[in-house]
Chain A
């Protein structure tokens, strides 16, 4: 059984112009110990999916479908059960959360507090000890437990956020843009840490980012999202090196391989912006920006179909194949 499975997930927000469909029918699964990368541009619905896994969406959000965490549907769970699975079964490193650390509290105390909230049997002393151990696990000296957030660099704060996410021994960690806004070298350090923790603890991870190239570093599989839907999915290396969907191709070409002469002095890009949820184009939502769209693309909505072993994509120009057969 997968640690996480999303079935036909649909999420809309309330807005002055009516319901805003942010997630429009997503099927995804993360296996135990697996790292699934979820990529896509701003506003495509990545953080919305992340929040739905622990039912942390605003009250006015409408959710449909199933979110199976270790086989149990989070959407129909009672509050007591929900409290029990949050952080101990799955935890989230929120986008930009490192800026949200309490500025007047020592970071060690903040981690200990998270432990105490979720484990009522823990004593203050044992929580403090665990906090120090966690801080060492994210490769900071234990004495940094006494530091205040402003005494830490961006990368160190992100390590504290990772320690906090590990506090209750989860099986799944959802990391929402954990390296965005960090410097390149610090990003490499954090990715290295996450990779180490994943193999050491056998952690399953849903790794969310807009930077497809980062996923080739950490992910086993990649799912690419556009306008609230998955448009392509498959083994990380294959999706990056041999994308099937035109959108994946465009996204990947923003991060060319240095030394690839086809990109030298010829950057590739798409016109226009990703669509806003209250104005999603007809047919294939990508068609107005798609470099290979045909007239049919404006009328027919493609479905996510198998396009090769372990690979799927939703594009009318791709020939679907029977599972297991080559395209």
Chain B
């Protein structure tokens, strides 16, 4: 077995593809068996002490990707690496992987067994993993890290006896008990009442800072990303289409899809609303060329033609191209467009970007 590479990102995905065999396409047209390419070549990495927000429309493949990262969903292609070491395929390797990478499911009420005490829920993972140590102490430590203090007070309680926010903390405690390096949280607050969400987000920030966890937050809420994320990756139809530091991406998006997503966040109308038509693009028939081109406002408005990229949009698959040091967008316009005209950036402009675009 190879040695961990310390310079490598903690978690890295290289060209990950996950497909499902389905009997009919999404919008109801019956047909023979088809393949849904839910995750279609994802490159992504997260470092220790970093929160990455993974955003995108319903059905774009976020949960499938999260499950693949956990090893709960086999990837047909590509690699998932921890500390530079590819995830193994044997059940023993998978079990070890799942200790270091923990998933928090979306709905706290559905994820907890109502007949199990909070102690039992948190201890379950420890038993599955055969974690050494005194179980009682490990459970207490995890609960207290998740902000449930004093932990003993929660041992014998059942899920219905605590608040919604506390139930989410119990799930987080269950994940923390195994002392993971990576936490993947699938919509961790969307089932919670609005006033309670902030507390859970504060907890995630604290865990990032105090334990140096790498955290991937799957969310459809870009406002949430603004509150907690270091980086944001925007996913469209199984592919990351833009990846950048949160402040850059959220205040001066490059990819037309990111721009559209940001423009429909209520109370965020600094730019004109770009409401895309249609919904939940169908992974059983991914458009040729740029997968976003049938809905792309640049194509519809003629801007892509004026920029001389329209032919490429409809025939070539754009890759995530680095523009500047730390951000990338999969769009042909990225290489030709002068961004300052469309989105006056409030953040520091990257000097390397200008040279890239001038050339």
Which A residues contact B (CB, under 8 angstroms)? 41-42, 150-155, 183-189, 192, 210-214, 216-217, 240, 247, 250-251, 253-260, 263-274, 289
Q: CA A263 – CA B270 in complex, angstroms?
A: 18
Excluding A271-B165, A274-B193, 12 further A-B contacts by CB distance (< 8 Å) are A184-B261, A184-B264, A188-B275, A189-B275, A240-B267, A253-B198, A255-B266, A256-B223, A256-B226, A264-B247, A268-B198, A269-B195
The residue of chain B having its C-beta at the shortest distance from the C-beta of A153 within the complex is B279
The residue of chain A having its C-beta at the shortest distance from the C-beta of B147 within the complex is A271
Asked if B31 CB lies within 8 Å of chain A CBs, one says: no
The residue of chain B having its C-beta at the shortest distance from the C-beta of A255 within the complex is B223
A267 contacts B267, CB within 8 Å?
no
Residues of A within 8 A of B199 (CB): 269-271
Which listed residue (A211, A259, A271) contacts B251, Cβ 8 A?
A259
Output the residue of B197, B205, B276 with the most chain A CB within 10 A.
B197
Majority SS at the chain A contact face: loop
Asked if B280 CB lies within 8 Å of chain A CBs, one says: yes
Residues of A within 8 A of B277 (CB): 189
Residues of A within 8 A of B228 (CB): 265, 267
Q: Can you list 18 residue pairs at the A/B interface with Cβ under 8 Å?
A: A151-B28, A152-B28, A154-B279, A183-B279, A184-B57, A184-B221, A184-B261, A186-B58, A189-B277, A217-B266, A258-B226, A259-B251, A264-B226, A265-B227, A267-B224, A269-B198, A269-B200, A272-B196
Looking at the assembled complex, report how far the CB atom of A11 sits from the nearest CB atom of chain B, in whole angstroms: 21
Output the residue of B59, B198, B201 with the most chain A CB within 10 A.
B198
Q: CA A258 – CA B202 in complex, angstroms?
A: 17
Q: CA A260 – CA B193 in complex, angstroms?
A: 22
B163 contacts A272, CB within 8 Å?
yes
Asked if B355 CB lies within 8 Å of chain A CBs, one says: no
The 9 closest A-B pairs by CB, nearest first: A269-B198, A188-B264, A254-B194, A267-B201, A269-B199, A183-B58, A151-B28, A213-B266, A273-B163
- Which residues in window 149-182 of B have CB below 8 A to A? 163-165
Asked if B265 CB lies within 8 Å of chain A CBs, one says: yes
Output the residue of A42, A254, A270 with the most chain B CB within 10 A.
A254
Q: CA A6 – CA B223 in complex, angstroms?
A: 35
Residues of B within 8 A of A251 (CB): 194-195
Q: CA A267 – CA B225 in complex, angstroms?
A: 10
The residue of chain B having its C-beta at the shortest distance from the C-beta of A41 within the complex is B193
Given A183-B220, A267-B228, does the pair A259, B28 have CB atoms closer than 8 Å?
no
Given A153-B27, A188-B264, A263-B226, does the pair A210, B251 have CB atoms closer than 8 Å?
no
Asked if B65 CB lies within 8 Å of chain A CBs, one says: no
Output the residue of B27, B57, B194, B260 with the most chain A CB within 10 A.
B194
A255 contacts B198, CB within 8 Å?
no
Looking at the assembled complex, report how far the CB atom of A270 sits from the nearest CB atom of chain B, in whole angstroms: 4
Output the residue of A41, A192, A251 with the most chain B CB within 10 A.
A41
Given A185-B276, A256-B227, A257-B268, does the pair A270, B196 have CB atoms closer than 8 Å?
yes
Residues of B within 8 A of A264 (CB): 226-227, 247
B197 contacts A185, CB within 8 Å?
no
Residues of B within 8 A of A250 (CB): 195, 198
B198 contacts A184, CB within 8 Å?
no
B205 contacts A265, CB within 8 Å?
yes
Looking at the assembled complex, report how far the CB atom of B199 sits from the nearest CB atom of chain A, in whole angstroms: 4
Given A183-B220, A264-B247, A273-B163, does the pair A216, B267 have CB atoms closer than 8 Å?
yes
